Amino acid sequence: MTAILQQIVNGLSLGSIYALIALGYTMVYGIIKLINFAHGDIYMVGAYVAFFAVTLLSMNLGVALLLAMLAAALTGVLIERIAYRPLRNAPRIAALITAIGVSFILENGGILVLKPDPRAFPDPIRWRQIRLMGGSLVLSTQDLFIVGVTVAMMLLLVYFVQRTRTGRAMRAVAYDMQAAALMGVDVNRTIAVTFAVGSALAAVAGVLVGLYYNRIDPLMGLVPGLKAFIAAVLGGIGSIPGAMLGGYLLGVIEALVGGTQFSLFRDAVSFALLILILLVRPAGLLGRNVREKV
């Protein structure tokens, strides 16, 4: 029993990372019905900006995190402006292929500029182990930190989307772009803000994963990006609570499978589970049958 509990606890950190990345996928999909395949690479950009901020500029981690969020937001906005906006009324497959292209550019550009070798992400904090239940359950303060930062980000996001004027505009554009324009909403600006917010969250994930694994490399966005996309679909793409749920679910499932003799098939098992869930609930766990964009 505690063994299972331990695996669940272990899955929370990774789940946080998936959830943070999944939020960006789901927000962008929600507003322009595009799977932004470059999103995982924005997470890489965030991690590298924080890395250089700490190592080259000797910033403290908090400031580095803010800088990473800012840089990622800017990257996301630029990508939208240059690559996606001109295709907004083009067939969706064109935008999708463009997104894959942007992802390649960021990855290969990353290899070129940042060098392919992994780098050791500096971890300035001395984490502790907390032993609970007579020592059978081990919890690291790092896990608490990762989950804490993630939950704080999620609360901020929910506040922003539900309670602010721009958040309201975002939901309006996601639901009916033309009607939102008729209300006087600046649709282009609202979409840009969505990219900025989603990308900033990915940067947070990038920094947290740097602390978690202590290493980053230009292709680090590939697999987590894919998994976070799956988490978003699992939760119901377009749904913000769905992305949170999907991310944590995937993290915990992976940890649980990782603790068994099937650990080598961790990814395969998670994917099989995903397919099962989607067979039962094609719209994802919290997804509605989304209106198709006309």
Partner 1 sequence: MLLELEEVHVSYGPIAALRGISLTVEEGEIVTLIGANGAGKSTTLNTVSGLLHPRSGRIRFRGAEIQRLSPQEVVARGITQVPEGRRVFAEMSVEENLLLGAYQRRDGAGVQRDLAAVYERFPVLYERRRQSAGTLSGGEQQMLAIGRALMARPTLLLMDEPSMGLSPILVQQVFEIIRQINAQGTTILLVEQNAHMALKVAHRGYVLETGRIALEGAAAELTASEQVRSAYLGGA
- The dihedral of CA 223, 203, 25, 38: what is its sign? negative
Q: Which is nearer to partner 1, 172 or 274 (CB)?
A: 172
**What is the H or E stretch that residue 74 is in?**
helix 61-79
CA distance 38 to 36: 5
| Contacts (CB under 8 A) with partner 1, residues 36-75 | none
Answer yes or no: are the C-beta atoms of 42 and 202 closer than 8 Å: yes
Contacts for 109 with CB less than 8 Å, ≥ 6 apart? none
CA distance 61 to 17: 17
| Contacts (CB under 8 A) with partner 1, residues 166-185 | 168-169, 171-172, 175-176, 178-185
Please state the closest distance from residue 248 (CB atom) to partner 1, in A. 24
Based on the shown chain and the rule CB under 8 A, indicate whether residue 135 belongs to the binding site for partner 1.
no
Residue 261 CB burial class (10 angstroms; 0-12, 13-18, ≥19): exposed
Please state the closest distance from residue 169 (CB atom) to partner 1, in A. 6
Please state the closest distance from residue 104 (CB atom) to partner 1, in A. 33
Q: Which is nearer to partner 1, 172 or 193 (CB)?
A: 172
Task: Pick the piece of the chain touching partner 1 (CB under 8 A) from 68-76, 144-152, 163-171, 198-206.
Answer: 163-171
Contacting partner 1 (CB under 8 A), which of 1, 58, 165, 279? 165
Interaction mask 185-204, partner 1, x per CB under 8 A: xxx-----------------
Please state the closest distance from residue 164 (CB atom) to partner 1, in A. 11
| DSSP code, position 215 | E
SS3 content of the chain, % helix, strand, coil (to 5): 75, 5, 20
Give the CA distances from residue 201 to residues 25, 61, 115, in Å, rounded to whole numbers and listed in that order: 10, 16, 25
Please state the closest distance from residue 287 (CB atom) to partner 1, in A. 13
Q: Which is nearer to partner 1, 126 or 163 (CB)?
A: 163
What are the residues binding partner 1 (CB under 8 A)?
Answer: 165, 168-169, 171-172, 175-176, 178-187
